[in-house]
Amino acid sequence: MASLTADDTTIEAPPRAGFTKSLKDFIRNQPLGAAGGAIVILMIVAAIFADFITVYDPEQISFEAMLVPPQWAYPLGTDNYGRDILTRVIYGARTALFVGFVAAFVGSFIGLVLGVASAYFGGTFDLIFQRVMDVFLAFPLIILALAVVAVLGTGTENVIIAITIPFIPQCARVVRSNALAIREIPYVDAARACGFSHTRIILRHMVPNVMAPFLIMVTAFVGQAILLEASLSYLGLGVQEPVPAWGLMLQGGAEEYAESAPWVAIFPGLAITLAVFAFNLFGDALRDVLDPKLRSER
Amino acid sequence: MYKYVVNRVLLMLPTLLGAAVLVFIVLRLAPGDVCEMRMAGTGLFADPEAIAVCQENLGLNDSKLEQFGRFIGGYFVGDLGISMWTARPVTEEIAIRFKLSLELAIMATVISVIIAIPLGTISAVKQNTWMDYAVRTFSIAGIAMPSFWLGILIILGLLITTQAWFGSPWMPPIHYIPLFEDPLGNLTQLIWPALATGYRYAAVSTRMTRSALLEVLREDYVRTAHAKGLLNKLIIRRHALKNAMLPVVTIIGIEFAFLMGGLVVTEQVFNLNGIGKLFVESVLNHDFNMTQQLVMLVALIFIITNFLVDLLYAWLDPRIRYA
């Protein structure tokens, strides 16, 4: 514990909250957010250890067990190829989270650097950069993603790129407006006066100060990316069979057998909803905690 | 005001030109073209000569600059060209779908406003009560639920309930029923996709209404209104809600623009022949001309909506004056 001593007065610095205490505070103040966080962690664990917690092979076709209703051996039933839906939902979490995290992090990181750079340099660079971003922002996410898929083709890697690209301008726009305010704060001038390089000022002095809006955006993007991946896969333009993916599971068989075998359509959609729901709850709570304006008003 | 409008309209041009350049380049980066798709897409042997003739006829062999010139030049003479896939005029193909997409977008927006504003208000006024939590859960669920899945569930629900109640399953008709020929038939067809998408967009606007209202409710003038003994209902309706509407209007405007072009997946579920479906088909068929015009249409709708929203601001908030 640090203390300052001047003559006979001692000013004690308040103790730094430990991780356990912060966690407890978070759970008490943000019960919904904590629940969301718990679901996210559960899904990550399930996705990582999918091989150990499932009995069936997600790609194993079994003609003896086609469209079996939910029962003990198949808790969520089987699809029209006789594949266990629970197994495919768990493996699907792997695909969804992988695509979601990579696309959200890469997209928002590029957006972060570009947004801060645009605010820092200002002038013509900023003006041109903003017009380019305007062009990208004039389209719905799904349309941009479709355009990228048209160029690159389908498949998991291409879907990630297709989802990453539309996130860049979205993140850059928000980060830029935050960074514009930071640029005016004297410590940036001080850093410049010290002769630091542009890269150093951007990465060491400005980027850490826009972390709050950035993190909020990343959590929101993960949810959006999961939805986008599901939509693209549902259209047949995303992840391809036989890779287990939630959107793909809703395509074809799910609609065809909707009436006689509703479980084929219900559970994968429920998984998508739960995942995005959890990320949004967590993101909302994170915003409340990280946004100083909201914090003081609570 | 006049100067502002002219300025804004002029600023649209570089964005539109940027969109044109972007779509033009992206389309030509993709391997293959419409001729190869049309002839080899069937899996049969395609005569390379026939493909060459087709490419020549559609002007795909011309230099890129010439092709771009034709694309942009078309706007000045009012000729948007033909669909490379169906050989019908682009304007004709779009016109058929535009009515459906516009109607669906309006219906979904109306549904979302009807749900969002009352729920958002309740949630803000009763902050941190069970009602607030219920509304927030409801709205986050709306954002989390893929609208195509909600669509599948709606169709499933309709099939099961009609089977149980009337003895035979019913689902919304697949072929488009024009509004003016059979208004009731049109409504029974489009209300379901409108509900599926309206709920999702309601979720977004509910959250916006809640947060905007929460901010306004802390303003001094609201406290003054309370102090002079005004009824709570009146304060919310006349003082708070009116001031909280600005960001909500923005969100609704942006949503409307997205609804016009972004309903790709919902149209697929309900088998509706709208702009979104046309877009997917054109992209898959490498129909450059159609895709280009659709992209420009979506961008134009988006930009114009944004502009109208800004004008609406001035009307809603007399303090805003565009000079």
pLDDT in tens, A252-288: 666 677 677 788 888 889 999 999 999 988 888 887 7
- How far B61 CA sits from the closest chain A CA (Å)? 19
Q: Quote the percentage of chain A above a pLDDT of 90.
A: 20
Residue-by-residue DSSP string for B166-209: HSS-----SS---TTT-HHHHHHHHHHHHHHHHHHHHHHHHHHH
**Res B323: pLDDT:** 54
Distance of CA B78 to the CA centre of its chain: 25
Residue type, A219: T
Helical pair A211-234 and A156-183, crossing angle rounded to 10 deg: 160
Task: Give the residue from B103, B44, B134, B146 showing the smallest Cα distance to B256.
Answer: B103
Q: Quote the percentage of chain B above a pLDDT of 90.
A: 7
Residue A7 has pLDDT above 50, yes or no: yes
Report chain A residues touching chain B, CB-CB < 8 A.
32, 131-132, 134-136, 138-143, 146-148, 150-151, 223, 227, 230-231, 234-235, 237, 247, 250, 254-255, 258-259, 262, 265-266, 269, 272-277, 280-281, 284, 297
Task: Give the residue from A262, A125, A47, A81 showing the smallest Cα distance to B159.
Answer: A262
- What are residue A5's DSSP bridge partners? A10
Please give the Cα distance from A259 to A296 (Å, whole number).
52
Res. A181 pLDDT band, cuts 50 70 90? confident
Length of chain B: 323
* Mean pLDDT of the A70-99 span: 85
Task: Say which of A151, A262, A269 has its CB closest to residue B146.
Answer: A269
How far apart, in Å, are the Cα atoms of B293 and each of B19, B55, B64?
Answer: 11, 19, 17
Q: How big is the CA angle at A180 (ends A175 and A181), to the nearest 5 degrees?
A: 105
Q: What are phi and psi of A3, to 5 degrees?
A: -140, 145
Residue A228 has pLDDT above 60, yes or no: yes
User: How crowded is residue B309: how many other Cβ atoms within 10 Å of its Cβ?
Assistant: 18
- Over residues B175-206, the pLDDT tens digits come to 777 777 788 888 888 889 999 899 988 988 89
Task: Give the residue from A145, A131, A133, A40 showing the smallest Cα distance to A93.
Answer: A40
**Res A285: pLDDT:** 84
**Res A298: pLDDT:** 36
Among B residues 288-307, those touching chain A with beta carbons less than 8 Å apart: 295, 298-299, 302-303
Residue A1 has pLDDT above 60, yes or no: no
Please give the Cα distance from A263 to B157 (Å, whole number).
13
* Mean pLDDT of the B217-244 span: 86
Please give the Cα distance from B179 to B210 (Å, whole number).
35
* Mean pLDDT of the A118-127 span: 87
Please give the Cα distance from A219 to A181 (Å, whole number).
23
Please give the Cα distance from A188 to A205 (Å, whole number).
7
A284 contact residues in B (CB cutoff 8 A): 136, 140
C-beta of residue A238 within 8 angstroms of C-beta of residue A154: yes
Token pair for A161: 């790129």
**Which residue has better confidence, B101 or B322?**
B101
**Which residue has better confidence, B273 or A256?**
B273
Peptide linkage before A242 cis (omega within 30 of 0): yes
Q: What are phi and psi of B127, to 5 degrees?
A: -55, 140
**Which residue has better confidence, A156 or B34?**
A156
B162/A contact by beta carbon, under 8 A: no
Residue A17 has pLDDT above 80, yes or no: no
Task: Say which of B144, B152, B153 has its CB closest to residue A277.
Answer: B144
Q: What are phi and psi of B55, to 5 degrees?
A: -65, -40
Token pair for B19: 């969109």
Please give the Cα distance from A126 to A129 (Å, whole number).
5
**Res A295: pLDDT:** 44
* Mean pLDDT of the A198-218 span: 85
* Disruptive mutation site among A132, A134, A264 for chain B (greatest number of B CBs within 10 Å): A134
Beta-carbon contacts of residue B170 (< 8 Å; ≥ 6 apart): B158, B159, B162
Residue B169 has pLDDT above 90, yes or no: no
Length of chain A: 298
Burial (CB count within 10 angstroms: exposed 0-12, middle 13-18, buried 19+), residue A9? exposed
Res. B155 pLDDT band, cuts 50 70 90? confident
Return the C-alpha torsion angle A286, A291, A295, A296, nearest 10. Answer: 180
Please give the Cα distance from A47 to A90 (Å, whole number).
6
Residue B211 has pLDDT above 80, yes or no: yes
**Which residue has better confidence, A272 or B285?**
A272
Token pair for B265: 């997946």
B286 contact residues in A (CB cutoff 8 A): 150
Please give the Cα distance from A282 to A30 (Å, whole number).
9
Task: Say which of A150, A266, A276 has its CB closest to residue B144.
Answer: A276
How far apart, in Å, are the Cα atoms of B276 and each of A22, A135, A232, B60, B204?
Answer: 47, 19, 13, 25, 21
**Res A2: pLDDT:** 47
Q: Tell me if A269 and B262 make a contact (CB, 8 A cut-off).
A: no
B91/A contact by beta carbon, under 8 A: no
Please give the Cα distance from B267 to A252 (Å, whole number).
15
A195 Rama sector, left if φ>0, alpha if ψ -120 to 50, beta otherwise: left
Secondary structure class of A78 (helix, strand, coil): strand
B140 contact residues in A (CB cutoff 8 A): 277, 280-281, 284
